[in-house]
Amino acid sequence: MLIMNASVRPILTDQERALLIRVARCPLIGEAIGSASHPCHEVVASQEVAEADRQIPEGWAGNLRDSRIVFVSSNPSISVAARGQLPSATEAYPVAAWLDHEIVEFLGRRFDQTVLPHPFVRGFRHRQRDGQYAPKPTRFWLSIRQRAVELLGVDADPSRNYVMTEVVHCKSTGETGVTSAALTCAGLYLDDILSLTAAPVVVIVGKQAHVRLQQHLPDLPDPPYITAADLGGRARAVVFIWHPAAFQGPKAIGGLYGPEPLATLKALASPPQSHS
C-alpha cells in the first residue's frame, strides 16, 4: 500500500481528483462483468482476478492541467512479470482495494519526483511491488517523451507539460476488448478529461487508437494527418503519429510531416509567453 506524506501540498484540483476516481471506479465494470453482451465485457473480463485485486482503469498519466500536448493511445497495458521474474516484479499499480486518496495520489502524481517517501516512477522506470525500480525504462514512455521533445524541447516532462491518456481506460494485454469498448468509454470520459486541460495539441498514437477514436470523432481523416477538431470544448490541432511498436513509419513527427508542419506545431505547443 501507498505511504502518504501529509506535508506535500495538494497539487490536483477538486475536478481532477473527482474525475480520476470516476474513471477508476467506473460504474460500468460491475455491469460488464455480469453481461457477456456488454460492450466493455471483454476488456473487463480479461483480468481474471478477485475484484479487490483488479487493476483499476487509468484516467491519465502526467500533468493534465498544465499540459501543452495530450497523447492519446488505445488503452493501458497490464504490467506482467517477464520470464523468470517473480510476480512482485510487476508495477505497484493501484488495485480496487486501494482507498480513493491513494488512487488519486498515484494517478495524479505518477511522474512527480517530489512524491515522498519515493516517486512512483524514476527515470521512466516504474516502481515494482517488491519496492525496487524496474531495471529498464518503459519503452512506450520513452518513445512518447521523444515525440514531446520534438515539440517542447529538452524540457519536455510528463510531470510538467505533457500527459498521456487513452481511448479505453481499462487495462488489458494486447488491446483485448478495446474494439468493442472504445465508443462507450470515449463517450463517457474523453471530453471530460480534455476539458480539464488547455493543451493546444492532441496527438493520436497509432492506427488502433485512430480507428477507435474515429468512432467518437467520425470526421477524422485517414492517417497520417494534421487536422483541427473541437475536443473537450476547445479547438485543438490533432496530429496522428505511428505507434512506436508499429512496423510503419517514420515515427518522428518531423520525419512524417516535414520541417514546416513541425515548426508550426512547435509554435502552437510552446507555452504562452508571460509578460512582466
pLDDT in tens, 14-42: 999 999 999 999 999 999 999 999 999 99
Q: How many distinct structural domains can be found in the chain?
A: 1
Contact criterion met (CB below 8 Å) for 64 and 197:
yes
In a domain, residue 107? The reply is: yes
* Per-position b or e across 163-188, b if 16+ CB within 10 A of its CB: bbbbbbbbbbeebbbbbbbbbbbbeb
pLDDT given at position 6? 35
Q: Is 87 exposed, middle or buried (0-12, 13-18, 19+ CB in 10 A)?
A: exposed
Q: What is the CATH number of the domain that holds 79?
A: 3.40.470.10
| 72: in domain | yes
Mean per-residue pLDDT for 59-88? 90
Alpha-carbon distance of 249 to 263, in angstroms, equals: 20
**63-77 mean pLDDT:** 96
- Is 2 a domain residue? no
Strands 226-231, 121-122: parallel, antiparallel or unpaired by DSSP? Answer: unpaired
Q: What is the pTM of this model?
A: 0.93
Domain enclosing residue 235, as ranges: 14-269
pLDDT digits (tens, 9 = 90+) for 149-181: 999 999 999 999 999 999 999 999 999 999 999
Q: What pLDDT score was predicted for residue 47?
A: 93
Is residue 8 included in any domain, yes or no? no
Please indicate, yes or no, if residue 140 is contained in any of the structural domains.
yes
